[in-house]
Amino acid sequence: MIVVNNKVIISGSAGFIGFHLTKKLMNMGFEVIGIDSLNDAYDVRLKNLRLNELSNNKNYEFHELNLSEPTSISQLQTLNTQAQTFYHMAARAGVRQSFLEPYSYVLDNTVATTNVANFCKVTGVSSLILASTSSIYGDSGENLMRENKDERIQPPSVYASTKLSGEILAKTILDESDTKVLIPRFFTVYGPYGRPDMSILRFIHWIINKKEVQVFGNGEQRRSFTYVDDVVSALVKVMNHNSSDTFNIGSNNTVSLNRVIEIIEDSTDMKSIVVNKERAIKDPDVVKPDLSHIKQTLDWEPTTLIDHGVQKTVEWYLENIELLKSLNYINK
């Protein structure tokens, strides 16, 4: 690995993927300047759990900062980090909730990304690694979604629209600058410390605690579930790519929600109580990634089978059950 200096900025470092990325880079010897607003998009107790673990490492420096605020650029500049890599992992995620709180999504995804891009331009950061989402592709059917080809001009949700807008604005702001814009698009990431508004952790919680498992629709929707450790390994490789680019980061195999429930039942030796509810608005049947570009360019592909990843997540839940069983698993 080629390293210019050993400092990186990670926004959303108390978030799910940002937390795991921060741990990985610190273990590799990097100093991480972590930024997070600690907002209430989901239960903040889980964010504090992650933050408490990170804060025990001497290579972690945390700043509570809302990047959508107009003053955020000057606040970032006062940190004087000299970091050459900015991982912008912070975002407000979730398709269903985005229709209920569109303004919050515009602020946290589009406006915040604009401010981060301007900061990188002003300070001469070498690489902006901007986390994005498979949601911008919509329903893929049996087709594999390919970067710079299959994006929707009119994305299917408020969430997807704000993320695609962030991508476009970052590339426009940093065009002809010295900052590379690298965009990893995540496909349904899961694993320990995951978000409580996402299906796998909710299903684990409901099954272990003998509660009704709420499935929106018939459960035959398929997702490219991708284990968080695989995602982090890809993000480390992205850091050293030598030009602006976009990469799908997902699993080669799609799995239905019903099959995920069966895997959790096998992992816990418990039966679920499934209650099917009305299908969520704009919920795609399937989204499948074309991984040929990231494999050819970065020599990356996922290695974690869904059964193993779910088992690891179940084990983590059981190790932290006293806190996790009290979290809010449905968005307000």
In the block, residue with structure tokens 């985005």:
98
Of the candidates 85, 173, 184, which has an alpha carbon nearest to the alpha carbon of residue 126?
Answer: 85
User: Running DSSP on this structure, what letter comes out for residue 11?
Assistant: E
105 annotated active-site: no
DSSP helix/strand/coil, 44: helix
Q: Which two tokens stand for residue 224?
A: 């490219």
Place of tokens 């109580």: 273
Integer Cα distance of 214 and 303 in angstroms = 29
DSSP lists the bridge partners of residue 7 as 31
Buried b (16+ CB within 10 A) or exposed e, 130-163: bbbbbbbbbbbeeebbbbeebbeeebbbbbbbbb
Residues sharing a CB contact under 8 Å with residue 185, sequence separation 6 or more, in sequence order: 132, 133, 134, 136, 147, 246, 247, 248, 249, 250, 289
The position carrying tokens 């500049």 is 77
Using CA atoms, how far apart are residues 88 and 243, in angstroms rounded to an integer? Answer: 17
Catalytic residue, from 42, 87, 159, 317: name it. Answer: 159
Please identify every residue annotated as catalytic: 159
